[in-house]
């Protein structure tokens, strides 16, 4: 497929976004270099196994409306209204523009940062220049290049060395309110010996027709720890392409949880790269598809250094005519001895009209490792449904209990009780809907 089959946007749109953001020259240059990559890179070939189940043309756009990043208001001591939890920080993002950046005084004084990424390119230039595009650069793929060229404000989260943030930093992404295309971007840097929990929640109230092209990237420096939760509750008319990747240095760890409930047509690529000795990664995934929803998810655990560990548990439930394709790669590099890696993908089909594909992949270049994987695709057990119905439960309630039992082992690994209860609430709402 030729590179000329793309969208109606141009280099002028890139220039308009950079000018609207008022960003430094080096970032504007970075954007234009990314645009060149977009222009020169053809659309992904459907013959490639990672695009076998998804049409890349679904993520092309017709126009771009430059968003002027707001000067994010930061409250001194008052939590933004309507919060039902006690977070360490809150970021409210409308149409990819950070409207509110609030931090509890304790963490503000400790040097934690929640900022508009385009602004942070000037106020924290050294950090942003070092890490922007390091995990997901313009060369990561055609749509990743388009995000790099066109993201408006973006969000930057930094946790300084040795700071262990208690409580989550909660980002509310209400993008696509007034746009036909949205380009959210998040850059996370967890410094040496630091700890943080980030809840990154996506929705678009009013259910506008929108194409979302999102990038989440970050680095966890030596002995740092990151808990990252991605909650996708986009509307029924959203097509979503999302790329997420974290780099883990020596003795660093990351636990990532991806909850996919919304969107009409979704493709997600999720990866953790163990770059340093003793790095540890845990991935949890929960997808619930209904109606005619489409989910295409690829996960990667890449062990570049020895004595590193990874564990992945990905659960999918489908009903009606929903579709899911899952591919999961474990790669152990040649010099990465004494690694352990586990991967499990289970798929539960509530109706005969839905479908799921599961393709585990192993690339093991070192013999001194321990790697296991498992994958299943199967219908709901009608004997279990019948048993629960004989105990007086309606069929839908019986299915709800079975789905909860199916998702339970994955969600029960989340140690934060309040967050776990909230995620269960979202899933129960999806089942009831």
- CA dihedral of residues 249, 251, 252, 253 (deg, nearest 10): 130
What mean pLDDT value characterizes the chain? Answer: 91
d(CA 301, CA 303): 6
pLDDT score, position 248: 98
Query: What is the average pLDDT across 374-397?
Result: 91
**Is the confidence at residue 179, as pLDDT, over 80?**
no
Residue 169 CA to residue 158 CA, distance in Å, equals 11
pLDDT at site 181? 87
Among 103-112, 302-311, 336-345, 386-395, which is the least confidently predicted range? Answer: 386-395
pLDDT for the residue 121 = 94
Distance CA 163, CA 159 (A): 7
For the residues 204-216, what does the mean pLDDT come to? 91
Alpha-carbon gap, residue 393 to 400, rounded angstroms: 10
Q: What is the pLDDT of residue 247?
A: 98
% of the chain with per-residue pLDDT over 70: 92
pLDDT over 90 percentage in the chain: 73
Residue 1: pLDDT over 70: no
131-177 tens-digit pLDDT: 999 999 999 999 999 999 999 889 999 999 999 999 999 999 987 66
Residue 83 has pLDDT above 80, yes or no: no
Token pair of 89 as six digits? 């920080």
Residue 76: the pLDDT is 46
User: Global pTM?
Assistant: 0.94
């Amino acid at each position: 497929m030729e590179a000329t089959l793309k969208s109606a946007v141009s280099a002028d749109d890139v220039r308009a976004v950079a000018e609207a953001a008022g960003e430094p020259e080096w970032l504007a240059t970075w954007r234009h270099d990314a645009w060149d990559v977009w222009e020169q890179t053809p659309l992904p070939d459907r013959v490639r196994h990672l695009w076998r189940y998804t049409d890349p043309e679904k993520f092309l756009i017709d126009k771009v409306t430059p968003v002027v990043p707001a000067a994010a208001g930061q409250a001194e001591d008052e939590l933004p209204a309507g919060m039902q939890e006690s977070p360490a920080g809150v970021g409210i993002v409308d149409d990819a523009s950070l409207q509110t950046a609030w931090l509890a005084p304790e963490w503000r004084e400790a040097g934690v940062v929640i900022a508009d990424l385009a602004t942070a390119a000037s106020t924290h230039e050294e950090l942003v220049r070092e890490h922007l595009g390091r995990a997901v650069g313009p060369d990561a793929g055609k749509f990743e290049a388009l995000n790099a060229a066109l993201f408006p404000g973006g969000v930057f989260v930094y946790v300084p060395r040795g700071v262990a943030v208690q409580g989550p930093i909660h980002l509310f992404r209400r993008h696509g309110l007034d746009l036909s295309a949205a380009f959210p971007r998040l850059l996370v840097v967890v410094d040496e010996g630091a700890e943080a929990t980030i809840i990154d929640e996506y929705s678009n109230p009013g259910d506008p027709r929108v194409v979302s092209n999102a990038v989440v990237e970050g680095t966890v420096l030596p002995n740092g720890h990151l808990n990252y939760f991605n909650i996708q509750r986009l509307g029924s008319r959203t097509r979503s392409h999302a790329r997420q990747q974290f780099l883990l240095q020596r003795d660093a760890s990351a636990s990532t949880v991806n909850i996919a409930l919304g969107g009409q047509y979704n493709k997600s690529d999720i990866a953790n790269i163990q770059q340093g000795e003793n790095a540890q990664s845990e991935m949890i995934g929960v997808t619930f598809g209904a109606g005619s929803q489409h989910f295409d998810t690829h996960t990667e655990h890449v062990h570049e250094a020895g004595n590193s560990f990874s564990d992945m548990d990905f659960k999918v439930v489908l009903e009606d005519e929903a579709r899911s394709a899952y591919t999961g790669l474990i790669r152990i590099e040649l010099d990465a001895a004494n690694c352990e890696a586990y991967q499990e993908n289970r798929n539960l089909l509530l109706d005969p009209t839905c479908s799921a594909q599961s393709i585990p992949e192993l690339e093991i270049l070192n013999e001194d490792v321990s790697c296991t994987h498992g994958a299943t695709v199967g219908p709901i057990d009608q004997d279990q449904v019948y048993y629960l119905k004989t105990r007086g439960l309606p069929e839908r309630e019986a299915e709800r209990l079975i789905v909860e039992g199916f998702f339970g082992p994955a969600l029960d690994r989340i140690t934060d009780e309040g967050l776990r209860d909230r995620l269960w609430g979202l899933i129960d709402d999806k089942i009831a809907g």
